[in-house]
Chain A
Amino acid sequence: MDRVQMDSFIDRLLAAAKEAGLETAEVYYTEAEAFSVGLMKGEVDSYEVSTSGGLGLRGTVDGRMGYAATEAYDEDAIAQLIEGVKESAALNEAQEQDTIFAGDAVYPEIGKPESDLAAWSAEKKIALAHEIEQAALSRDSRVSQTQGVSVSTSRGVRILRNSYGLNLRREGEVCVAYASPIAREGEDTSTGFKIAAGYRLGDVKPAELGAGAADDALAMLHAKPVPSGDYRVILRREAMGDLLATFSGVFSAENAQQKLSLLAGREGEKIASDAVTLMDDPLLPGGFASTPFDGEGSASRTKAVIDAGTLTTLLHSRKTAKKQGVETTGNALRAGYAGAVRVGPTNFFIRPGEKTLEQLMAEMGDGLVITDVSGLHAGANPISGDFSLLSKGFVIRDGKQAEPVEQVTVAGNFYALLKSIRAVADDLRFDGRSIASPSVDAGVMKVSGK
């Protein structure tokens, strides 16, 4: 739907909502145009083009909030949305109700990265995918196949409008490319994975991406489990980033207030080692979650959630902040156009330290460096903080990376991990994600192997 048609639909919807007796109402609309191409064995194996979006309406009846959403904008849609909101509001019994926000006086300016994606044809993107695949397959004779190579681009817009006249809009573009080569030698098989993301297709360096992914797979050939026991462990940035993303919910005031996080009421306490400063930065230039406004229209701001080990604040929406008697941190989160407003991080990362990963390994002497953890949706419990995860990595011997390790689990507890981090490396990278971490020296962890 074009911009004029959508504006007109929203005008009619908000007018009808008022007419139907909704005291306040808000529309959240998202739309994306996307392209992706996948290669397999030198051929285009998938090619996808889409235009899709949806619209969520929330509004209050007797001060209680209701929700409904649609992807159809036909004659029935307005009536269905309003009926849905009314039914939903009538059942809502939450003790603290969300409210629609009239808006802040000022919103921060975020430099929008200059993007050239619109100018690239499908043929150019396919050619880029071929270059990546070639770089992976020509790296070494043991790499003769991939699980997939893909280049995708998308352009999105989100609009937040409400009955107070607030009208916020944000557009963004991104390209993402990945390669996942398979290395085989004798009976042994291993896989590698590298991803690159940016705002210009030039941000994807095909040779570097393809060869890097192939090296990743080759390095893991002939990996073996190590004996079970306690090991000094470095979590490389990919693994630590995955853990931080999985457990990011523990920093939500919403979870804390519902006793789903053990950080409830612990602001001002030391919850991590001195090495840990955890940032939530919605204003990060080029950040994949950068935004001037949050999911309910509050102005975004940057904050340290953990400052040198001390919990300074949890992440708040207006509702959770009101309950606790503090100001919102601008972390109201809309997971999509449908559903309730939740609380969550924006660009969320552990602030990098001074040392390189190699220095951390040298200082450790003997131990393991874990490069990959899998099964996070299953092997990590965001409520207890416990995790026990299938992991890959390398032995560290005499301060240097040695033979590869697989078929082991690394187990621990996220809350305990925060305290046991001895040092943070300087190698923070986002690679298309909004939650990331540098590599960390995680102290001693339980490893289950052979």
Chain B
Amino acid sequence: MIHPSLAQEVLAKATATGGDFAEIFLEDSRSHSLLLKSGHMDSVNSLRSHGAGVRVFNGTSAVYVYTNDTSREGLIACAQKAAAAVTEGKGCAPIPLNPSDARRPEEIRVLPGDVTAARKAEKLRAADAAARAVSGEIVQVNARYSDTVQDVLIANTEGTFVTDRRVYTRLACTAVASDGTENQSGSTNPGASMGFELFDSRVDPEACGKLAANQAVTMLHAPVCPAGVYPVVIDNGFGGVIFHEACGHSLEATSVAYGISEFSGRLGEMIAAPCVTAIDDGTIPNEWGSEHVDDEGMPTTRLVLIENGKLVGYMIDKLGGRRMGMAPTGSGRRESYQWAPTSRMRNTYIAAGKDDEAEMIATMGEGLYAKAMGGGSVNPATGEFNFAVNEGYWVKDGKIVHPVRGASLIGRGSEVLLRIDRVGRDMRMAQGMCGSMSGSIPVNVGQPMIRVSSLTVGGR
């Protein structure tokens, strides 16, 4: 991408006015997407994303400048603009750059660029046909295939000069069921840090189509969810979004560093029920949220956040680390060169526990069994979170009685973590895109089936 001597020159220019740390992030990405709508290939897009960002620290202040112009002149201009915003810094002594390529435990067997669009399209047609075959009530199927190969170079004044390649492939299928006056949808979006071999081992397009269609048809015939405060059982896989929203974001340095988060300054305290252990792991080969090095060039890590209910770790980027007086944890991530990195989640999950899944439902009395979750959001200052239930079932006297639609769950992170009274044995993860201060990035959420003793269920 660029020669270490040019990187050295850019870093020197960036710190010329007193910055005590500088970093270059250079990116060249190729992505490809295909959208099959109503059984017809609607659009096929290729995008080459290309640019660089220069970041300079002065103590706990940060300056970020980015551009598409990655020529020598463009990079130097970026460095000069960044340096111009720094005054009265203590500066930094340059360290020789040590070029390396990130260690990548997994092998990408079939690079997306080596696969024709026609072969990618076959996967969509398979998902589409399987979805339509489920029911005459399926009126629309949207199937999207996407892949990205992101080549990056990260260099900084601490001697880092590392290149990395990240490869992502994903299938997304949404089915809409209609009875003419009402529409309901179902969806599934599996992906991995893999090439086209995703479809050999992990993702069956037909199964995806069926799953989405069945969910849509089930919800079309479901009455609306009752509203109120009830026990809630949340299934494994994407159910882990509850931890992601209720707690994960509040353990990111972005919220913790300034004392904004409800979990600031609480290391060592019991913040969850003793049955809860939570982990953020960037090291799992091929997982959607995994990394080799983070977007600040640090090797990725496995980080325990909560151990048997006790808060033991935060997710920390370099700048957050300076603000908190703590070491970074390999958690600096960003969508692209257009974003300064900050502390973010990777593959974040509640670890497997010991409880029996059938017993959880049998002993819950009346409440909600949330089988498939949608997305959510949180206000880290107050801990208030919300998320949607895409496929829910009403439970009465410990028995599942019928599906319910339109449910959402709300609460406060600090309260819900303490109210988890069952953690099942079968931990699974699912893929999502997480949007926050450094853009939209791939993350896994995960958990075994869990039960929350009481939660506000928003229904109608």
**Which A residues from 394 to 450 make CB contacts under 8 A with B?**
406-412, 446-450
Given A51-B68, A190-B382, A259-B139, A91–B51 Cβ distance below 8 Å? no
B66 within 8 A of A: yes
Bound state CA distance, A262 and B23, in angstroms? 51
Please give me the residue from chain B that is nearest to A411 by CB atom: B460
**Which A residues from 66 to 94 make CB contacts under 8 A with B?**
66-73, 77, 80, 84, 87-88, 90-94
Please give me the residue from chain B that is nearest to A392 by CB atom: B384
**Which B residues from 21 to 64 make CB contacts under 8 A with A?**
28, 34, 37-38, 40-51, 60-64
| Chain A residues closer than 8 Å to B460, beta-carbon distance | 386, 388, 411-412, 446
| Chain B residues closer than 8 Å to A68, beta-carbon distance | 45-47
Bound state CA distance, A339 and B258, in angstroms? 39
Q: Are B48 and A378 in contact (CB under 8 A)?
A: no
| Chain B residues closer than 8 Å to A308, beta-carbon distance | none
| Chain A residues closer than 8 Å to B49, beta-carbon distance | 54, 71
| Chain B residues closer than 8 Å to A385, beta-carbon distance | 183
Bound state CA distance, A377 and B407, in angstroms? 14
Q: Are B45 and A50 in contact (CB under 8 A)?
A: no
A324 within 8 A of B: no
Mark interface residues in A35-52 (1 if CB within 8 Å of B CB, else 0): 000001101111111111
How many A-B contacts at CB < 8 Å in the complex?
Answer: 243
Mark interface residues in B65-95 (1 if CB within 8 Å of A CB, else 0): 1111100000000000110010000000000
Mark interface residues in A253-292 (1 if CB within 8 Å of B CB, else 0): 0000011101000000000000000000000000000000
Bound state CA distance, A24 and B6, in angstroms? 42
| Chain B residues closer than 8 Å to A182, beta-carbon distance | 260, 381
**Which B residues from 370 to 401 make CB contacts under 8 A with A?**
374-377, 379-382, 384-388
B406 within 8 A of A: yes
**What's the minimum C-beta distance from B230 to chain A, rounded to whole angstroms?**
10
Bound state CA distance, A51 and B68, in angstroms? 7
Q: Are A388 and B458 in contact (CB under 8 A)?
A: yes
| Chain A residues closer than 8 Å to B301, beta-carbon distance | none
A137 within 8 A of B: no
B410 within 8 A of A: yes
Bound state CA distance, A83 and B320, in angstroms? 44
B200 within 8 A of A: no
Bound state CA distance, A91 and B40, in angstroms? 9
Mark interface residues in B167-195 (1 if CB within 8 Å of A CB, else 0): 00000000010100111110000000000
B283 within 8 A of A: no
Main secondary structure of the interface of B (DSSP, over half): strand
Bound state CA distance, A116 and B183, in angstroms? 48
Please give me the residue from chain A that is nearest to B121 by CB atom: A91
User: A46's contact among B47, B340, B411, by CB below 8 Å, is which?
Assistant: B340
A390 within 8 A of B: yes
A172 within 8 A of B: no
Bound state CA distance, A262 and B178, in angstroms? 10
Q: Are B65 and A409 in contact (CB under 8 A)?
A: no
User: A388's contact among B28, B64, B407, by CB below 8 Å, is which?
Assistant: B407
Q: Are A87 and B64 in contact (CB under 8 A)?
A: no
Q: Are A44 and B376 in contact (CB under 8 A)?
A: no
Given A258-B38, A411-B406, A228–B43 Cβ distance below 8 Å? no
A95 within 8 A of B: yes
B4 within 8 A of A: no
User: A91's contact among B44, B61, B260, by CB below 8 Å, is which?
Assistant: B44
User: B382's contact among A94, A191, A408, by CB below 8 Å, is which?
Assistant: A191
A147 within 8 A of B: yes
Q: Are B381 and A386 in contact (CB under 8 A)?
A: no
Q: Are B183 and A260 in contact (CB under 8 A)?
A: yes
B262 within 8 A of A: yes
Bound state CA distance, A258 and B229, in angstroms? 38
Q: Are A52 and B184 in contact (CB under 8 A)?
A: no
Bound state CA distance, A377 and B456, in angstroms? 19
**What's the minimum C-beta distance from B112 to chain A, rounded to whole angstroms?**
13
Bound state CA distance, A189 and B28, in angstroms? 43
Bound state CA distance, A72 and B338, in angstroms? 14
Which residue of B34, B48, B385 has the most chain A CB atoms within 10 A of its CB atom?
B48
Q: Closest 6 CB pairs between A and B?
A: A409-B458, A448-B227, A390-B386, A378-B375, A375-B386, A88-B44
Q: A375-B386, A377-B377, A388-B459 are in contact. List 14 more A-B contacts (CB 8 A).
A: A41-B258, A71-B49, A71-B68, A91-B34, A374-B384, A375-B375, A378-B376, A385-B183, A386-B405, A389-B408, A411-B224, A446-B460, A448-B457, A450-B229
- 6 example contacts (A-B, Cβ-Cβ < 8 A) are as follows A191-B381, A379-B374, A388-B225, A407-B410, A409-B456, A411-B406
Chain A residues within 8 Å of B, Cβ to Cβ: 1, 40-41, 43-54, 66-73, 77, 80, 84, 87-88, 90-95, 122, 145, 147, 182, 189-191, 225, 228, 258-260, 262, 338-340, 374-375, 377-379, 381, 383-386, 388-390, 406-412, 446-450
